Structure formats: C-alpha cells, structure tokens
Amino acid sequence: MPSDTPQPSFVLVRPQMGENIGAAARAMWNFGLDRMRLVAPRDGWPNPRAVAMASGAGRLLDEAQLCETTAEAIGDATLVLATTARPRGLTKPVYSPERAMQLAAERISVGERVAILFGPERAGLENDDIARANGIISVPVNPEFASLNLAQCVLLLGYEWRRAREEINHEVTELAGAGWAEAIEIEKLGDQYEERLETAGFFFPETKAHGMKTNLRNLWSRMPLTRADVQMLHGVMRQMVRWKERGE
C-alpha cells in the first residue's frame, strides 16, 4: 500500500525504457514519494527491466496505477502541472520547480489532489497532454546544455517536494560526543597557554607582549571549541612542557 502521507502523484506519460521507469521509482522514493501512475508505457507492463533497476523501490512499481490515457491518469486531480524542457506555444503559467512544489504542498494541505506529468524520454510531453495541465514546470537548466533525463527530472521535483513539505535544518553542527566548551573552560585554556608561553619566553619583545596576549585569547574564543577540543589543546601544551622537563 502507498504511504498515508498526502503527496502528489507522479505521472509518467508514455515512458519508453523500463530502466528509466525503475530509476524514476528510486528517485521518487529517495524523497518519500510513492504514488506513481503510468500512461501507456511503450514496452507494456509489468516490465522486468523496470523491476531490475528499481531495487529497493520496487514496491512503487507493484503499486503503480496503469492508465491508457493522460486524461484518465489525471482524472481525480484538482491541480495538474506538466514538466517541459521547452516553450510550447500554449498560454499557460510557467513555474520554477520550487514554486510549483510550494503550490502543490499548499493545495494538498487543504485536501486537494495534485498530479505532476513527466513526458516520454525522447520528445517530452505532447501539446495534447500539456493542454490538460493547469501549469507548466520548467527546470532552470543551462540554456547551452539542457539534457536532463526522465529520472533526473523526477529527482529534482521530488527534492523540491521534500523542501516544500518539511522543515529542513539548514545549518546544524554535528557534535561528536562532547558538548560545547563553556566560557570558563576557554578562559582556563587561555590561562594555561599564556602562563606556559610566558615561561617559554614567547611574548617578546616586551612592547608587543600585551597585543600578542590579546590575539591569543581572541584566537581561542573565536574557535567553536568542544570540551574534547579543549582537553586536546591542554594535552598538547602539557606534552610540550613534559618534553622540555625531561631534557634531551
């Protein structure tokens, strides 16, 4: 059974190669999408090449809805968007993938059904299909080289769906074991280095000593140091002192 998560259907219209259908299934499932519809696949259905390619996402193929026409595949949708690589001479709103998936997410959140159309590999959707869509999705590719294949197009739309739907953490810091050091620990680290380096004759000449100390304090405090980092840095200095005290 497809997941309960409300989501758009991805409709592959007259896809040619089974491999591409399988790769599209994988691309969808990478972003948690599992409602595929197929309109008149060229080599019939089911297709063993699709299954071989879909490894890990084969369930999407088993559950795919097979339709004879585009009209049948989109019959229950209240918003239909068609992906195209080139202008079609049809008056129609053209959305970026980002805006299209925001729109899809808004509509789906109020209980509507959304279908996204993807054309056959070689020629893309026919105008007859596009005339049935409420809008067009155009991926902003390099005009000198626009060669997205079917599964890549599915991947980008799936990615934008996930972006539109989820709170993405744009920036977090992975903390390995230890938490962040507190200011008092940084202070003590600074103290240790300053004291030991004083003994070692680092702050020379006298006229520059104060500036050097300030810079060293500043170096520690602008680093995002964990407790483990602080321990490591204490260890470094301790070791240098031990090595000196051992004598050569």
Nearer to a copy of itself, 54 or 74 (CB): 54
The one-letter amino acid code at 166 reads E
Nearer to a copy of itself, 145 or 204 (CB): 145
Least distance (Å) from a copy of itself to the CB of residue 144?
8
Least distance (Å) from a copy of itself to the CB of residue 231?
13
The one-letter amino acid code at 164 reads A
Least distance (Å) from a copy of itself to the CB of residue 110?
19
User: In 3D, which of 239, 241, 243 has the Cα closest to residue 231?
Assistant: 239
Integer Cα distance of 147 and 64 in angstroms: 26
Q: Is 143 helix (H, G, I), strand (E, B) or coil?
A: coil
DSSP state letter for 181? P
Nearer to a copy of itself, 178 or 237 (CB): 178
Which residue ranges make up the site for a copy of itself (CB under 8 A)?
26-27, 29-32, 56-57, 87-96, 98-99, 136, 139-142, 144-148, 152, 155-156, 159, 162-163, 166, 168-178, 224, 226, 228-229
Q: Is 222 helix (H, G, I), strand (E, B) or coil?
A: helix
Nearer to a copy of itself, 228 or 237 (CB): 228
User: In 3D, which of 99, 103, 109 has the Cα closest to residue 79?
Assistant: 103
